[in-house]
Amino acid sequence: MRNKFALKINKYFYYGWIVLLMSALSTFFSSPGQTYSISAYINSYVLDFDYSRTMLSTLYTFATLLSGALIIFMGKAVDRFGQRRMLVISGLMLSIACLFNSFIVNTVMIFVGFFLLRFFGQGSLTLVPGALIPQWFDKNRALSLSLMAYGNMIGNMIAPTINTFMITHYSWQVAWRGWSVLLLFIFVPLVSFFIINKPEDIGLLQDNQKAKDQKEIHAELKKMAQESFHLNEAIKTKSFWFIGAISMLTPLISTGMMFHFFSIMKTKNVDPTMTAIVIGLVAIPGFFMPIVASAVIDRYRSRHILTITSILIGLDLIYMLFVHNFMMACIFILIYGLISNVQNLTINVIWVKYFGRLHLGSIRGAATVFTVVGSAFGTIPFGLSFDLTGGYVPAFIAMACLSIMGAMMSIFIRKPSKSL
């Protein structure tokens, strides 16, 4: 039934756009596991449980590390069982995770709750659609990935405000249960019905190219196999490790900032209501990514883009040291949002460009370990900075230095060649 429906739709427009819409929905519903969403709950945890920010940061770090260590198995499961099945399972588990988080009462439950949110939200519901879209799009790969990211951008814009409203007017427990209901009754049924793993499954080719016969489809699958790296081949290349190391930096910085963002903005004389607005602004530049994808990412070498964006992120972090009001905070977050989006999209494109799409689930799963580890360690420097100095200046200086190091590393990236 699903395949017949897809072919019927494909008579009018490419079914890949439906898959893209569902992938964007997946990244939106990763919100409960994203730091920009979880950060809205941290002040409530500090007040209700009387835990320090360093303790909560440490729990978050180790939960994220565990998630990162295990996410590679999700990537392998995607290659084995397909994106559709793993999206359904991840959605169900994230719904359970949100419900569980509404009942936490001690450090052990907070740790388990953080782990479940990070693994099935931030990890799985971004990994799986990231491995799905390149199956359907080739020429429009950067464009489609940038459009897919709209889901995460919208989540970034509205999730903190929704969470803050729900926590303020009801409770943090009710806020978590609301996400659980939305995942179970909206997200899971939609992806279960609309997702198809790859165009070849219904007799199509990437970008809706017309196949003359089954031989052409088989030839395309053979070509894909020849050009694609196995995970054990990819990890033997220098580029895999350099790209992975650079991909750690933005999650490291973003997680550290967003986890403590309400506290950071308090030191900048910005009240919580305005802070919720500022944190949402980071997503706005992402809406221009389809234009950037066509004008920049598809035109210039990926390693050059990574060099420039790493330098600019470092400079923006230095600017943050001088922020002292709402408007300056808005300028900082808009610049950061633009540059980090360009860098993240470039990295998403480079994985499939360098290593192919056949084993993309496993490779993206291994690559996600880098980003999750980066996310894990981002919270501690900011938490220690505040607990030891009463502010965040040392943390921002350290992150700026790491960004410059990332720029230097990107110079040595080269596309690997595969021995056939």
What are the tokens at 115? Answer: 């782990």
**pTM, full prediction:** 0.74
List the domains of the chain with CATH numbers: 2-410 (1.20.1250.20)
Give whole-number Cα distances, 228 to 176, 348, 351, 354, in Å.
41, 16, 11, 9
For 228-325, where are the alpha helices, taking DSSP H only? 231-234, 238-247, 249-259, 261-267, 272-281, 289-292, 302-320
User: What pLDDT is stored for residue 220 in this prediction?
Assistant: 59
Which residues 6+ apart lie within 8 Å of 228 measured at CB? 355, 356, 357, 358, 359, 360
- pLDDT string in tens for the chain (420-residue length): 777 777 788 788 888 889 999 999 999 999 999 988 888 888 888 888 888 877 888 898 889 888 888 888 888 888 888 889 999 999 999 999 999 999 998 999 999 999 999 999 988 998 899 888 888 887 777 788 888 888 988 888 788 888 988 998 899 999 999 999 999 999 999 999 999 888 877 777 766 676 555 665 666 556 655 566 777 888 888 888 989 889 888 888 988 888 788 888 888 888 888 887 887 787 778 777 777 766 777 677 878 888 999 999 999 999 999 988 889 889 999 999 889 888 888 888 888 778 876 677 778 788 877 887 787 777 788 888 888 888 899 999 999 999 999 998 888 888 887 665
b/e burial code for range 242-279 (CB count within 10 A of at least 16 → b): bbbebbbbbbbbbbbbbbbbbbbbeebebeeeebbbbb
Please say whether the beta carbons of 54 and 383 come within 8 A. yes
User: What pLDDT is stored for residue 222 in this prediction?
Assistant: 63
User: What pLDDT is stored for residue 86 in this prediction?
Assistant: 93
Tell me the C-alpha distance between 150 and 23, whole Å.
Answer: 10
User: What pLDDT is stored for residue 286 in this prediction?
Assistant: 74
User: What pLDDT is stored for residue 310 in this prediction?
Assistant: 92
- Residue 280: name the closest of 346, 342, 329, 344 by CA: 329
User: What pLDDT is stored for residue 22 in this prediction?
Assistant: 94
User: What pLDDT is stored for residue 357 in this prediction?
Assistant: 67
